[in-house]
Amino acid sequence: MRVRSGNPPGPPKVLPLMVKINRVYTRTGDDGRTLLGDGARLPKFHIRVAATGSVDEANAFIGWAARHVGEPARPILERVQNDLFDIGADLCRPERSGLKVEPLRLQETQVAWLEERIDEHNAPLAPLTSFVLPGGSEGSALLHVARTIVRRAEREIAELAFQEPITPAVIRYMNRLSDLLFVLARDENNAGASDVLWRPGAHSDSTRTPA
């Protein structure tokens, strides 16, 4: 992490990479506001707080899914979980001018890594002829749940981005992550062989005549 341009010259200052947590409750949120990483306080319904919460929720479901998937997917999900904490750290420190240190920001290399994993795991899958219904194995179903939460987080982050500047890689990461979770969900369903595909109108009554 480097000092922003415009700061006084000198050796780069870095933020500590780890935090020390020695209290579970602080009472600082009892008034309906929460503390950001830069010391600012926002109402808990603020879109920045909502987006951060959705990222956390997605992380929890990915952790659950990781307990029910095969070995190829598990280390990928565990790395993703760490990246999602990077995103949380990024979102909790809004872009500000004149900062003395550069906060932790998500990097484009992390997005590129996701794209590599998507290409790697999508290549062996049979091409789709319809949309996939979420389900199949337990691991696949959980990955689909996580995917929908990631989509929500992406929408909230996009809403925030229309109001305030954010790290561009964050939106791209969340977008690619939902794609990765979809591909891994198919992989868990016997490389897509056990996928249940949407059959448009399969249960509509085609014999009924209009009144």
pTM: predicted TM-score of the whole model, two decimal places = 0.80
Tell me the C-alpha distance between 152 and 18, whole Å.
28
Question: Does residue 209 register a pLDDT over 80?
Answer: no
Pairing label, strands 41-43, 196-197: unpaired
Per domain, the residue ranges of the chain are 42-121+133-193
CATH architecture of 42-121+133-193: Up-down Bundle (1.20)
Question: Does residue 43 register a pLDDT over 60?
Answer: no
Helix residue ranges, H only, 95-199: 108-122, 138-161, 168-188
126 compared with 25, residue with greater pLDDT: 126
Question: Does residue 34 register a pLDDT over 80?
Answer: no
Which residues, other chains included, contact 130 with Cβ-Cβ below 8 Å and sequence gap of 6+? Answer: 197, 198, 199, 200
Question: Does residue 89 register a pLDDT over 80?
Answer: yes
148 compared with 197, residue with greater pLDDT: 148
Question: Does residue 175 register a pLDDT over 90?
Answer: yes
